[in-house]
């Protein structure tokens, strides 16, 4: 297996560009690639006009909020932004475009992108404003919404353990959107809290296989924990 370990500087410089669509893992703080996001925020001039696909908007001062408040993001596609009142203000003031999608359908649209499924049909959101303006299809007498897949240029996720080849494993509730995002982008950067020799993870227990991964980078200390 290839050794995909590199520095976060190399990985970001190699794959991330202004104008791209980035998928960012995490739900709450678990799975959020804080180290990679911090680097991108530290080069606010270099990485702009980004479209972010992320479950939530993080809390003020951490994670993607660093990019949001510096104006690096033109659009956020998310499911819930309730923990970031500052971003809600940005959204309501029209500073940043925000598209909200029901959480499971958000995950399914990403999965479809990763699995080569151009679109799925769903009844989720029928009879609500989520359905407005969406194409529909009649299947067996039932109206369904057509939800096209989502793909990204680069996925940024944080795993608990990765091997050098890029196989990754998540602890507890940290997995959330990370695995599916790792399947749906041209490039995948796995930030790992622990990096082990290839072959150390049990092959049956790997959550994201290395064939999806382009770079493994060590996670640094959590900036918001002051350590």
Partner 1 sequence: MAKRELTSAELTLLKRAAREVRHGMVVNLGIGLPQFLPEHLPADTDVTFHSENGFVGMGEGNPEGTPDSDVIDAGGRACRVVPGAAFFDSLTSFAIVRGGNLDLAVLGAFEVSVSGDLANWKIPGKLTPGMGGGMELAQKANHVLVISHHLDKRGRGKLVPQCSLPLTAPACVGTLITERAVFRRVDGRMQLASVHPDFDRESALEGIDADVPSAENLEPWEDKS
The radius of gyration of the chain from alpha carbons, rounded to an integer in Å, stands at: 18
User: Phi, psi (5° rounding) for residue 11?
Assistant: -65, -45
Among a second copy, partner 1, none, what binds residue 137 when CB lies within 5 to 8 Å by partner kind?
a second copy
- Structure token digits, residue 62: 């951490």
Q: Binding to partner 1 (CB under 8 A): which residues in 157-186?
A: 160, 163, 165, 167, 170-180, 183-184
Instruction: Based on the shown chain and the rule CB under 8 A, indicate whether residue 135 belongs to the binding site for partner 1.
Output: no
Among partner 1, a second copy, none, what binds residue 119 when CB lies within 5 to 8 Å by partner kind?
a second copy
- Going by C-alpha positions, the residue among 24, 30, 35 that lies closest to residue 160 is 30
- Give the binding range for partner 1 (CB under 8 A) out of 12-20, 35-43, 67-75, 200-208: 200-208
Q: Which residues pair with 142 in a beta bridge?
A: 139
3-class secondary-structure state, position 159: strand
3-class secondary-structure state, position 146: strand
- Going by C-alpha positions, the residue among 183, 114, 155, 219 that lies closest to residue 24 is 155
Instruction: Based on the shown chain and the rule CB under 8 A, indicate whether residue 122 belongs to the binding site for a second copy.
Output: yes
Nearer to partner 1, 47 or 169 (CB): 169
Instruction: Based on the shown chain and the rule CB under 8 A, indicate whether residue 80 belongs to the binding site for partner 1.
Output: yes
Q: Binding to a second copy (CB under 8 A): which residues in 139-198?
A: 139-140, 142, 144, 146, 148, 169-172, 175
User: Phi, psi (5° rounding) for residue 9?
Assistant: -60, -50
Q: Could you say which DSSP state residue 208 is in?
A: B
- Structure token digits, residue 161: 């353990």
3-class secondary-structure state, position 134: coil
Q: Contact residues for a second copy (CB under 8 A)?
A: 108, 112, 115-123, 137, 139-140, 142, 144, 146, 148, 169-172, 175, 202-205, 207
Rule CB under 8 A: which residues touch partner 1? 1-2, 27-30, 55-56, 59, 78-83, 88, 91-92, 100, 102-108, 111, 113-117, 123-130, 160, 163, 165, 167, 170-180, 183-184, 198-199, 203-204, 206-207, 209-212, 222, 225
């Amino acid at each position: 297996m290839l050794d995909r370990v590199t520095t976060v500087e190399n990985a970001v410089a190699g794959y991330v560009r202004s104008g791209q669509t980035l998928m960012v893992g995490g739900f709450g703080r678990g799975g959020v690639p804080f180290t990679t996001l911090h680097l991108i925020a530290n080069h606010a001039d270099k990485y702009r006009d980004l479209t972010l696909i992320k479950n939530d908007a993080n809390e003020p001062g951490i994670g993607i909020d660093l990019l949001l408040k510096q104006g690096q993001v033109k659009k956020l596609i998310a499911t819930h932004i309730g923990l970031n009142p500052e971003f809600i203000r940005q959204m309501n003031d029209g500073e940043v475009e925000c598209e909200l999608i029901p959480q499971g359908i958000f995950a399914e649209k990403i999965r479809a992108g990763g699995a080569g499924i151009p679109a799925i049909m769903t009844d989720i959101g029928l009879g609500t404003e989520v359905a407005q303006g969406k194409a529909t299809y009649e299947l067996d007498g039932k109206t369904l919404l057509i939800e096209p897949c989502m793909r990204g240029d680069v996925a940024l996720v944080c795993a608990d353990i990765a091997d050098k080849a890029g196989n990754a494993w998540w602890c507890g509730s940290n997995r959330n959107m990370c695995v599916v995002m790792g399947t749906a982008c041209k490039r995948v950067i796995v930030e790992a809290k622990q990096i082990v020799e290839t072959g150390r993870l049990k092959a049956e227990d790997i959550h994201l296989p290395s064939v999806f991964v382009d770079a493994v980078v060590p996670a640094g200390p959590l900036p918001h924990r002051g350590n």
